Amino acid sequence: MRNGQADVIRCPSGYPLPYPLPNLLLVLESPPVNEKNSLILASNSPRRRQLLALANWNFVVSVADVDESQYENESPADYVLRLAETKARAIKADMDQIILAADTTVVDGSEILGKPKDNAEAIKMLTQLRGRTHQVYTGVALLRVSDGFLLTDLCVTDVPMRAYSDEEIRSYVATGDPLDKAGAYAIQHPEFSPVASMNGCYASVMGLPMCHVVRMMRKMEVEPNADVPMNCQKFLEYDCPVFESILSG
């Protein structure tokens, strides 16, 4: 964001992706969300930009600084839902716009693992998670500015980590990638590949459960301009077992 103005993101045909999109078919010209509404993504995460692009919506990015401190005795679900709503409400937008915001955190038992402050903390987190299953909570908020209509949704995904070695941890931490990731890992990292297997929403672990977003947008009478489950599975190279139940829920 420059001088308070949102950065325009060319999505999806012109958006650079750091990971490959194998066999992903997207139309080259991306129409507006619909004739009356435009979409704002309240996140500076490149991973959320990539995922949102799979719906073939045009959108802009606008990010507001919010305090992400956890309240005393606040549950992980309440925490991510509160932050998602706070982020959405913090964005200045026109009356014809819809604001999408999300927050993701890693939860091990009752402990929320945020972004590590340094390499030593990253190593500690990855060692703690190794060979065990934890949960990733992603809260999503969708705010229609014209009438203040707000929708929120929560996706909780079990994430079983593989038994990676100490040497793998040190090599991964040395790349610097864990330092801006909750729980000190990126599920999609091609070399480290921390997760043993998945039975839930892979996109949610990356930061934006797209079928939840589609379901919410439909409640605001906005349809995707692409086959989101197909695009998402091809992008992530993952056969998702939960998309049908989420979209019909």
Question: Which one of 103, 108, 153, 158 is the catalytic residue?
Answer: 103
CA distances from 199 to 39, 140, 156, 159, 202 (A): 30, 20, 12, 8, 8
CA quadruple 211, 213, 215, 221: dihedral sign: negative
Cα 175–Cα 103–Cα 30 angle in degrees, nearest 5: 85
- First CA to last CA distance, the chain: 35
CA distances from 14 to 38, 52, 61, 227 (A): 18, 13, 15, 18
Let me know if 103 is a catalytic residue.
yes
Distance CA(71)–CA(68), nearest Å, equals: 9
Distance CA(66)–CA(76), nearest Å, equals: 17
Q: So which residues are the catalytic ones?
A: 103
